[in-house]
């Protein structure tokens, strides 16, 4: 078992901002950076990882739970960036920037470290993560550094416990999502401004193709229950380094089905994730102290 406890329940009062259709789920004192969220098979959550290494779960309006709140302890305490539930087992898989791939077993509060390298090459900055809904295998993205093309897409086989490199040469990989039937996985490239489609099964298995290219920079991508995918895209403006965040819903063919501007509430703050659950959109960002919810 990994010695660091990565889950603490948090309780917070949602607050209304700008509109009756938008609320904030505030984090505990000192917590910041809810980049990614996940819901378990029972619909509980959201669960989210924050800068000081904790995994937090929204429970109900009541009080606050306080942790150490020190992001500088990341090398010791971890920095969860990608979360995904295996709904077949109830296990929560975690892509941690410092600690690699971990799993939090159902009904436990201590995470187990599963892998820290692939083909003898250590992980560096694991970021996006998704669980194959059919096999339970875990797809992991590694973002090496800014402005390079050395990112990798990995697969962790839950039966053999082996890590396989599926795709190399990714330009700022940020998010990954597996199709409902497990035939392909989508990979966003923040620097490359595009989404690639990697085929896991069928006649195109083990090949990749560009699904869509954006004018802005895509971050995390999440599958919804209807089989479409929500992508957090930070659109570039005429002012350098300032972005206009929005959520974009795509189908499996890369057709844009819906665009949802969210800059009214977030301004030019970079948004890392837009996830649809139970009729609402949950917004993640490394730079906020809350999860935004559009209902």
Whichever domain contains 282, its CATH number is 2.120.10.30
Q: Residue 187's pLDDT band (boundaries 50, 70, 90)? A: very high
Tokens 């797809």 correspond to 139
Q: Residue 210's pLDDT band (boundaries 50, 70, 90)? A: very high
**How far apart, in whole angstroms, are the C-alpha atoms of residue 105 and residue 85?**
10
Residue 1 lies in a domain: no
Q: Which of 60-64, 121-125, 150-154 is the least confident region?
A: 60-64
* pLDDT tens, position by position, 251-272: 999 999 999 999 888 988 899 9
CA-to-CA separations, 70 to 94, 268, 292, in angstroms, rounded:
20, 25, 23
Residue 2 lies in a domain: no
Mapped onto helix, strand or coil, the DSSP state of residue 71 is helix
Write out the residue range of the structural domain in which residue 17 sits.
7-67+76-294
Handedness of CA 225, 254, 292, 260 (dihedral sign): negative
* pLDDT tens, position by position, 2-28: 434 444 444 455 554 444 489 999 888
Q: Provide the terminal-to-terminal Cα distance of the chain, rounded to the nearest Å.
A: 39
**pLDDT given at position 17:** 45
| Residue 84: closest CA among 122, 118, 114 | 114
**How far apart, in whole angstroms, are the C-alpha atoms of residue 269 and residue 278?**
25
Residue 245 lies in a domain: yes
* pLDDT tens, position by position, 21-73: 899 998 887 889 999 999 998 888 899 988 888 888 887 543 222 344 445 44
* pLDDT tens, position by position, 190-206: 999 999 999 999 999 99
When divided into structural domains, the chain yields a total of: 1
């Amino acid at each position: 078992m990994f010695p660091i406890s990565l889950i603490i329940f948090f309780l917070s009062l949602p607050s209304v901002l700008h509109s009756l259709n938008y609320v904030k789920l505030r984090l505990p004192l000192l917590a910041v950076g809810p980049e990614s969220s996940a819901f378990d098979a029972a619909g509980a959550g959201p669960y989210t990882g924050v800068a000081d290494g904790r995994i937090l779960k929204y429970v109900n309006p009541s009080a606050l739970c306080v942790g150490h709140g020190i992001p500088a302890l990341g090398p010791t305490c971890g920095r969860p960036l990608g979360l995904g539930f295996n709904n077949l087992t109830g296990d929560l898989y975690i892509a941690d920037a410092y600690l690699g791939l971990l799993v939090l077993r159902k009904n436990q509060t201590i995470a187990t470290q599963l892998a820290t390298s692939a083909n003898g090459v250590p992980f560096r900055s694991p970021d996006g993560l998704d669980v194959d809904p059919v096999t339970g295998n875990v797809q992991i993205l590694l973002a090496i550094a800014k402005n390079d093309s050395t990112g990798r897409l990995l697969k962790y086989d839950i039966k053999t416990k082996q890590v396989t490199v599926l795709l190399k040469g990714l330009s700022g990989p940020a998010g990954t999502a597996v199709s409902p039937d497990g035939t392909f996985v989508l990979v966003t490239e923040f620097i490359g401004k595009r989404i690639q489609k990697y085929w896991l099964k069928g006649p195109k298995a083990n090949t990749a193709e560009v699904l869509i290219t954006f004018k802005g920079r895509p971050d995390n991508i999440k599958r919804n229950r209807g089989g479409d995918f929500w992508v957090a895209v930070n659109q570039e403006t005429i002012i350098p380094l300032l972005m206009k965040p929005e959520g974009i819903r795509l189908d499996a063919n890369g057709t844009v089905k819906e665009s949802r501007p969210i800059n009214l509430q977030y301004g030019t703050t970079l948004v890392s994730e837009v996830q649809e659950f139970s009729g609402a959109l949950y917004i993640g960002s490394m730079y906020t102290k809350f999860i935004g919810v559009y209902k």
